[in-house]
Amino acid sequence: MKKAFPLLALLTAALLGYALYQALVVAPREQTMGDVQRIFYYHVPSAWTAFLLFFINFLASVQFLVRPNEKLDRIAGWVAIAVGAICCVADFAIRDLPSGMHHGSIATTGLAVTALYFAIRKLFSEPGVDILALVTAEVGVVFCTVVLVTGPLWARPVWGIWWTWDIRLTSTLVLWLIYVSYLLLRRFSTSGETPVLAAALAVFGALDVPLVYFSIWFFRTQHPQPVIGGGGAIDPRMLRVLMINWLAFLCFAFLVCWSRYRLERVQRDVEETQALEALLEPRSAVQ
């Protein structure tokens, strides 16, 4: 797996270059906004990647909290299965969804939650889920920063203003602040309970993710309506370029998370050895 990293990094770099070419050259020019609309090919995939990373952070934090208690762990597993089942039932039962929200998407999302929960449980040990939560929060904040920077750069020429205290924009800023405080807590707290406190904060912080995502469905907002599943029509060539860029950013995020995960594991091993060395030092001095 370690040997595959340089090859994957090379492939990702090529994919990112191809995606950039697609966004700048191949994608058609939008008629009303002109070339500035191409910011969309970086802004939207970055937002989706950040949401996905924060969601993984949520699942990893839940597992970190429930795993020490076997009963809670089992209940959480059943809740994950129930989420998938309820979403499938809701898909058939709910007739009137908000405009543009498709039935298949509810069942897919629910089943993805269940699958992701059990995949994390199978692949990561107890300290592993804590590291995964830290890593996904960190990389998620990086992607969320991109969203908050590219958004105003698009808004200035299109709306004539850099920022407005609209629900989509404000909830995204709140989301960013929540995860920055999560990282600050992990970085500067010296308490032994820090991972538990951080996991609890992450569980509450994740509640903001659906609020950000669905805000444009349920509230009147200045932010453009969703282009996929939101009733808005998008040129198939634009959609293709958007998906290529998302795939490229997903691969990039995966590689960054992987490197950061390995770095954190080694860091913890070193800290453990340093602590052991500090414990042994006085004894060897006495001898």
Partner 1 sequence: MNYLYAAYAATWAIHITYLATLVRRHNRLKREIAELKPGLPR
Q: Which is nearer to partner 1, 49 or 215 (CB)?
A: 49
User: Taking CB under 8 A as the rule, does residue 156 contact partner 1?
Assistant: yes
H helices of 94-224, in order, are 103-123, 126-159, 167-188, 194-205, 208-218
Structural Rg of the chain based on CA atoms = 22
User: Taking CB under 8 A as the rule, does residue 154 contact partner 1?
Assistant: yes
Q: Look up residue 75 and give its amino acid.
A: I
C-alpha closest to that of 256 among 146, 122, 163? 146
User: Taking CB under 8 A as the rule, does residue 266 contact partner 1?
Assistant: yes
For 69, other C-beta atoms within 10 Å of its C-beta total 11
Q: Which stretch binds partner 1 (CB under 8 A): 69-77, 169-177, 179-187, 267-275?
A: 267-275
Q: How far is the CB of 103 from partner 1 (least distance, A)?
A: 34
User: Taking CB under 8 A as the rule, does residue 186 contact partner 1?
Assistant: no
**Contacts with partner 1, 34-73, as mask; x by CB under 8 A:** -xx-xx--xx--x---------------------------
Cα–Cα distance for residue pair 175/165, rounded to 1 Å: 14
For 265, other C-beta atoms within 10 Å of its C-beta total 13
The helix, strand and coil proportions of the chain, stated in percent and rounded to the nearest 5, come to: 80, 0, 20
User: Taking CB under 8 A as the rule, does residue 146 contact partner 1?
Assistant: yes
Residues that bind partner 1 (CB under 8 A): 20, 24, 35-36, 38-39, 42-43, 46, 139, 142, 145-146, 149-150, 153-154, 156-157, 252, 256, 259-260, 263, 266-267, 270, 273-274, 276-277, 280
